[in-house]
Structure 1
Amino acid sequence: MIQILEEPTGVAYKQLVSLAFSLCDEFILVKRDQIELNEDGKRFIEEIKPYIKEIKKQEGWPGTQLFGHYADVFYFDCNEELKQILLRKVDRLYEWLQPELLEDLCFYKNNKEWLVTITHEKEGIIKTTDNQEILMIREIEGIMIY
């Protein structure tokens, strides 16, 4: 497990997300019930609507467990169109926050968590023991990991 020490921004964000899309097959974004989306957030959902694979009402997702509340967890397949949307929409990993967007971007590789973000806490974790993947992550300039 690799802890991200500083928020990836700019080129580092783009390279990390691009790497995640090249290695992973699925990702999620979350809409919490207790936070209302603003107009930007509603437009974002309309933009990604054609790509939504599934929406599940959940109490928890990687890194987060709610008590007495639920969230809509949006599931997507990794593809080039969505990669371009994610790269264009924000310039920082922890910028995925309501009410402007959905939040807690997480990637899955073979049904296992690969990149987990908890945006309100500004935390990111990459779950890999693959030496080649670790080398590729370390090569991203501007990403500080432990």
Structure 2
Amino acid sequence: MLRMYTDPKGEAYKQVIDVAIQNSECFVLGYKMGDLPSENQKYQSVLEELKPYLIKTIVIKNNNMEEVIQIREAYRSHAFYCSGTYYFYKSCEESGLLLKQFAGSLSDWIFPNLLEDLCFLKKDGEDYLYSVVHEGMYGINVTENEAIELMDQITGLFIEIEAHRDFNRLLDDAIKQKTDRLYISGYRLNKLPDRIRELTEIRWLEIFEQDLYRLPQALFELSKLESLRIMTADLESIPGSISKLKNLKELQINCASSDRPDSTWRTKSKEEISLNRIPPEIGELEQLEQLTINYTSIQELPIELEKLKRLRSLNIENCMIDQKPAFLQRMKQLEYVNVSRNSIFESLALTEYEKD
């Protein structure tokens, strides 16, 4: 079973449904935890339209985990993990057309809009294709060579393969498949190639590379990026050109991070960390909702943060700031604020100690 980096969408979703129909005996959709909406026309339409292809229904009551385990052993499918009502439908061209009609991606199959977690089962009951939408988990039961062939045929199907241990191959496929999500870690990178700008559809990007010290200008050309997470041992700066990421909703930077810690690795002191300021240009990120920066030598916050009207969470911990700036009091939309010289865990421990 090979994992997908993200779920296929649009035309890629339709093509994946066709492939799954051809390689499966049936597919499963369910209501989980017995939480059935009383009035939902789309739900009713799905059930009514798929009724001619219904094979059987399984009901698991009251989180009976013994029954869940028995069913999972019988079917070896990701579909069954809690109580609920599970519908088994025949895999055929007609039922496949309905799946393509009701949804535009695997992630569309989620409560309360549709039945949940579309999974295709082979004749032996094992998954051919699975989705666990709440957890963002998607996979397909093919060999490495079959995965490569499928990715050649379907643009937008991005499957994790052994060949992706080579970073250039990973980036090649990520660009080719127009992925919207990518996690980069363990490649011993000390810089990102300018080709990163070719990830034109990327919306979520996480980079965990301890030797990454500078962020290239090409990174800030990813105009659709909504979430950027950087974990590294030390970071030179946050370039002012971050203001170009107009759709960014979440920015998270963690220094003193190691993707391969060993007995010789040493965390720098905060005073040694190069990242010592937040650029005022960050105030131009009008969509920003969450800002987290951890373990830096930052000594003050730019007043331009006050321009971030959508900001809900501000977490600047393990820094060199002695007290919260007064302008934060004017940011009434903030739901969570932590500006501290210590980590949140150290702060909590100190609070408990002071109580005693």
TM-score normalized by the length of structure 2: 0.38
Are residue 76 (structure 1) and residue 92 (structure 2) matched? no
Are residue 101 (structure 1) and residue 114 (structure 2) matched? yes
Structure 2: distance between partners of 1:142 and 1:43: 28
Aligned length: 142
Structure 1: distance between partners of 2:132 and 2:100: 18
Q: Which amino acid counterpart does residue 16 of structure 2 have in structure 1?
A: L
Query: What whole-Å deviation, never above 9, does each CA across 1:80-136 have from its counterpart, x for those lacking one?
Result: 1101101111111110112221111001122221111001122101123374x3244
Mind listing any 5+ residue stretches in structure 2 that lack a counterpart? Answer: 161-356
Find 1:125's aligned residue among 113, 136, 139. 139
Query: What whole-Å deviation, never above 9, does each CA across 1:22-69 have from its counterpart, x for those lacking one?
Result: 111211111121242622112221111121110001354633522xxx
Return closer, same or farther for 1:50/1:10 CA change in 2, 3 Å cut-off.
Answer: same
Are residue 142 (structure 1) and residue 156 (structure 2) matched? yes
Question: What's the RMSD between the two structures over aligned residues?
Answer: 1.8
> 2:3 matched to which residue of 1?
3
Structure 2: distance between partners of 1:110 and 1:51: 16
Identity among equivalent pairs (%): 28
Higher relative contact order (CA 8 A, sep 6+): 1
* 8 Å Cα contact 1:29/1:103 also seen in 2: yes
Are residue 36 (structure 1) and residue 37 (structure 2) matched? yes
SS of the residue corresponding to residue 65 of structure 1 reads coil
Structure 2: distance between partners of 1:56 and 1:141: 35
Structure 2: distance between partners of 1:136 and 1:17: 16
Q: Which amino acid counterpart does residue 142 of structure 2 have in structure 1?
A: T
Structure 1: distance between partners of 2:135 and 2:109: 12
> 1:15 matched to which residue of 2?
15
Structure 2: distance between partners of 1:115 and 1:25: 12
Structure 2: distance between partners of 1:18 and 1:34: 30
TM-score normalized by the length of structure 1: 0.87
> 2:100 matched to which residue of 1?
87
State which structure, 1 or 2, has the greater radius of gyration over its C-alpha atoms: 2
Q: Which amino acid counterpart does residue 4 of structure 1 have in structure 2?
A: M
Mind listing any 5+ residue stretches in structure 1 that lack a counterpart? Answer: none
SS of the residue corresponding to residue 94 of structure 2 reads helix
> 1:46 matched to which residue of 2?
48
- Choose between structure 1 and 2: higher strand proportion: 1
Return closer, same or farther for 1:130/1:108 CA change in 2, 3 Å cut-off.
Answer: farther
* 8 Å Cα contact 2:147/2:159 also seen in 1: no
* 8 Å Cα contact 1:27/1:108 also seen in 2: yes
SS of the residue corresponding to residue 55 of structure 1 reads strand
| Deviation at residue 10 of structure 1 after TM alignment | 0.6
| Deviation at residue 8 of structure 1 after TM alignment | 0.7
